[in-house]
Amino acid sequence: MAKFIIQGGKSLSGEIKVAGSKNAALKIFPVALLTKEIIRVSNAPEIEDVLRARETLVALGGEVKKIKDGVFDINFKGNKYIDLPSELVNKFRASIVFVGPMLATRGKASFPHPGGCVIGAASRPIDMFLSGFKKMGAKVEILRYGSGQVYRLTAKKLKGAEIFFPKITVTGTESLMMTACLAEGETILKNCAMEPEIIALADFLNSIGAKIEGAGAPTIKIKGVNKLKGGEYKIIPDRIDAGTFAILAAGSNSGEVLIENCNPGHLEALWSLFDKIGVNYFLGKNSVKIMPVKKLSACDVTTHEYPGFVTDLQSPYTVLMTQACGSSLIHETIYDRRLIFTDILTQMGANITMCDPHRAVVTGPTKLYGRKLVSPDLRAGAALIIAALIANGKTEIDNIYQIDRGYERLDERLRKIGANIKRIN
Ligand code: EPU
């Protein structure tokens, strides 16, 4: 298994480029099922989860042609029905987004429970997807085989429906929004997620013939159309990539770091926290500069759906708080397993008290010390890299597949700002 070896305590400065958004890129592959024409995708991140989405499209009969780095054409002309490949569905949560387009164009979809980061209740639930598809006229069956189960969904023709999400869901909103594009009549989605990736997806779908109104607001209306065309989809910058680097630069607090190719407007909740804790930063149009300061102050955080503080940056922020003066309460409201990694941080020297699965108190500043560890999931993995870069001594991080799932060539990019990080295969 590949590992990272990190020698901590080096001063970090220079420029670092943000990649295309993982969570935007993953959703364009299922969109390919909705049209027979070519979609040209650009600014695509080369990460493991995107490779899995690509493999899923190909397994279903689609084509992906690389034009150059970060640019490819995707196309789905096939008429044959193929079950979603379980070995891929088991690997990434966003595989669930293929289900709606399969139903809309093939009339059925069969798949096991999707995998991905183990950060939520036992296995992250898909009940809101299933009830949304049911409202659109699909029949949902759960077939049990020994200890496993398979979902089988069938629908002659999906119909527009009014769907209320009892809990805000990003992929749920995206999934039902894209599926409704080819359903008969109007669909109204209520209590939708408002993430920038959803707006980007709706804008693209509208550019190829869909009729979507309201993306980025809690209510989205979609009028079904008969077909969609092809088009060009430029993936927006990854706000989590940008936020991770901003937090790393603030935590390392050793030199000037310029984070390029990002959209600072997508991270307002982070900047407002930076104001409170005293980070010295400057926002450009497509960049953020972080400069060293004498002292950082602790500040509580509560994760929230967009535009609130994003759960995906909670673990990096928790590491940052180990370097700030005072106590901060970290309240993770979205997932109940995203604070488990603090155990590893404590072993590195952090002073963290877990109150319950959703809340932890970090008291700083504390020195961190390198050690051997295993990356538990994608964002905790990135957070532990930050900790290792700040720490005294050597850290060995195992299971970096988890990190490669969402961060493009992270070690290469970090070396450009002076980090001592090596990949061992
Ligand atoms: N939920 C349900 N039932 C459902 C769907 C979701 O109870 O049918 C719950 C989840 O268990 C969770 C909450 O609703 O407690 C929110 O989950 P959501 O559906 O919004 O998460 P997601 O769409 O699966 C996306 C991102 C995540 C990011 C969250 C929240 C993708 C592929 N994933 O997940 O990204 O944390 O939104 O912003 O878009 C990551 O990049 O590391 C990552 C996990």
The residues assigned a catalytic role are: 117
State how far the Cα of 35 lies from the Cα of 28, in Å rounded to an integer. 11
* One domain, residues 219 and 241: no
CA atoms within 13 A on the CB side of 391: 27
From edge to edge, which strands make up the β-sheet containing 148-154? Answer: 108-112, 148-154, 139-145
State how far the Cα of 205 lies from the Cα of 233, in Å rounded to an integer. 9
Residue 9 zone, left/alpha/beta (φ > 0; ψ -120 to 50; rest): left
* One domain, residues 409 and 311: yes
Note the pLDDT of residue 231: 98
Cβ neighbour number for residue 372 with a 10 Å cutoff = 11
Note the pLDDT of residue 121: 52
* One domain, residues 164 and 244: no
Note the pLDDT of residue 171: 97
Among 402, 350, 358, smallest CA distance to 376 is for 402
Q: Which atom of ligand 1 is nearest to the CA of 129?
A: 8
Give the residue whose CA is nearest to atom 39 of ligand 1: 23
Pocket test residue of 47, 49, 124, 165 for ligand 1, highest count of atoms within 8 A of CB = 124
Tell me the residue type at 36. Answer: K
* One domain, residues 281 and 176: no
Give the residue whose CA is nearest to atom 1 of ligand 1: 125
Among 333, 330, 320, smallest CA distance to 277 is for 320
Note the pLDDT of residue 146: 76
Note the pLDDT of residue 119: 57
Note the pLDDT of residue 117: 60
Write the CATH number for 343: 3.65.10.10
Give the residue whose CA is nearest to atom 11 of ligand 1: 124
* One domain, residues 178 and 270: no
Q: Decide: 129 in ligand 1 pocket, CB within 6 A.
A: yes
Q: Which atom of ligand 1 is nearest to the CA of 310?
A: 38
* One domain, residues 46 and 101: yes
Q: Decide: 334 in ligand 1 pocket, CB within 6 A.
A: yes
Q: Decide: 311 in ligand 1 pocket, CB within 6 A.
A: yes
Maximum alpha-carbon separation in the chain:
65
State how far the Cα of 382 lies from the Cα of 189, in Å rounded to an integer. 34
Mean of the per-residue pLDDT values for the chain? 95
* One domain, residues 130 and 44: yes
Q: Cβ distance 230 to 38 under 8 Å?
A: yes
Residue ending a domain, among 195, 219, 234, is: 234
* One domain, residues 33 and 112: yes
Q: pLDDT digit string (tens) for 294-304?
A: 999 999 999 99
Q: pTM of the prediction?
A: 0.96
- Evaluate the omega torsion of the peptide bond into residue 365 and state whether it is cis, within 30 degrees of 0: yes
Among 307, 303, 325, 306, smallest CA distance to 316 is for 303
Among 17, 85, 82, smallest CA distance to 54 is for 85
Query: Which H helix or E strand runs over 51?
Result: helix 48-59
For 124, the domain range is 22-234
Q: Which atom of ligand 1 is nearest to the CA of 124?
A: 11
Residue ending a domain, among 173, 204, 234, is: 234
* One domain, residues 345 and 408: yes
State how far the Cα of 418 lies from the Cα of 161, in Å rounded to an integer. 53
* One domain, residues 161 and 54: yes
How many distinct structural domains can be found in the chain?
2
Parts of the chain with a pLDDT under 70: 116-123
State how far the Cα of 308 lies from the Cα of 195, in Å rounded to an integer. 10
Q: Cβ distance 2 to 411 under 8 Å?
A: no
* One domain, residues 143 and 291: no
Residue ending a domain, among 234, 252, 272, is: 234
Tell me phi and psi for residue 89, to 5 degrees: -60, -35
* One domain, residues 177 and 43: yes
